Amino acid sequence: MATRSQGLRMVPGGGWEESRWPGLVLPGLCNLHSHAFQVLLTGRTQERGGGPGGAPDSFWTWRERMYALASSLGPDELEKVGAWLYARMLAHGFTHVVEFHYLHQGGAEMGAALLRAAKRVGMGITLLPVLYLHAGPGEELAPRQAPFALPGGVEGYLRVYEELASLVEPEADQVLGFAPHSLRAVAPEELEEALRALLPNKPPIHIHIAEQRREVEEIQAAYGAPPVRWLLENAPVDSSWCLVHATHLGAGERKDLAGSGATLGLCPSTEADLGDGVFPLPEFLEEGGSFGIGTDGQVGLCPAQELRLLEFEQRLRLEERNVLAGNRAPRTHVGRFLLEEALGGGRRAAGLGPPASERGSSDFILLDSGHPLLEGAGPDQVLDAWIFHLGAELVREVWKGDKCLVQEGRHALQEDLDREIREVLRP
């Protein structure tokens, strides 16, 4: 068993080995879907308001709050927000973030601000500048969506992409990828043009898809197929792709998505907050699919919380316990299975390749296996306790390379970062 005087390190693929660190050592996780600026909505969208004509609150009414926030931020503010947010993610155990960046304000400055923010706090980042050209199939962008636009269509987008490519620092664990926002926001010919230009660079490619039933209906009406089916039949979807949410899809789409090699990007806290629905994850895994986790709108920042909710929503859906315990391998601990799946899917989606070998991994989380409630617990039980019970309370240290960035749950720069984000929020 792991104690304060005896450390154990997780070996990907199964087992534990002795470690010099006093606690349980886990690889750092990748947050595969983030919109950094949306953390400023914290506590500001939970009062009941309703939509037009007395319709209930929904994803579509929430968007109006998000649009208002987006128009109020510039590069300086976004850099402060990003640094604060990424430091908090690190404190919870994420060591790399995939930033689905569509708050362009007309150029590359906002993306550059996020790269600086990540480097400042030691967070690895895959920056995904977003191609966002339409409000819906055949619809012009609305004025409130102006912060997401880049002038010049696909050609203008590619100019900004090249500018950001010149700013990415691989030695700082930075990667550049491509994100068509959604099939609502990018027309088929525009997607084809962008892919033709960017595929030779082999970037990671992410897209929002099938998050809401209304979206599915709109794409079905415009293109003659639901969004996941259309994408699989009209784009070169493979292991370099990440389909984010994909909540509402048929059994045939789900099976073909699993067979494509693409990673499914799930963001349980945000999907619950927005009322998106629940993805049929056990069935997808049985069909050979893979997934990773993200924080999306920053409703939660803790990987343990996201993995916990991923399992709990399936328990509620199926009225069973310990659902995601490994349908493809004889694993019995749900926590171990969830963590390993999220590690592999997250790294692949971030364009980082397969997880590093355990001994060669330089990014890691140190859990406090000496917590009083864990007296006598084995390492898999400590891991389960982190995910299903204690969460961030167990995170003692987070290391990136040879630097300890987080001690006792707090980033080394947290005091300065707290002051800066207060300045952004102050009226």
Q: Write the pLDDT tens digit of every residue in 368-427.
A: 999 999 999 999 999 999 999 999 999 999 999 889 999 999 999 999 999 999 999 998
Average pLDDT over residues 26-33: 97
Each residue's pLDDT tens digit, 190-245: 999 999 999 999 999 999 999 999 999 999 999 999 999 999 999 999 999 999 99
Set 173, 273, 276, 296: catalytic member: 296
| pLDDT of 2 | 36
Residue 76 included in any domain: yes
How many folded domains does the chain comprise?
1
Q: How far apart are CA 193 and CA 197, in angstroms?
A: 6
Contact 232, 269 (CB under 8 A): no
Average pLDDT over residues 96-124: 98
- How many C-beta neighbours within 10 Å does residue 274 have? 22
Contact 255, 233 (CB under 8 A): no
Residue 1 included in any domain: no
Q: Is the pLDDT of residue 289 over 80?
A: yes
pTM for this model (two decimals)? 0.95
| pLDDT of 62 | 82
- 415: domain CATH number? 3.20.20.140
Closest CA to 335 of 368, 370, 308, 364: 308
- 245 in active site: yes
- 134 in active site: no
More confident residue, 46 or 185: 185
CA–centroid distance for 18 within its chain: 31
Q: Is the pLDDT of residue 320 over 60?
A: yes
Set 101, 208, 245, 333: catalytic member: 245
| pLDDT of 12 | 80
Residue 2 included in any domain: no
Closest CA to 78 of 45, 50, 39: 39
Domain range holding 206? 7-425
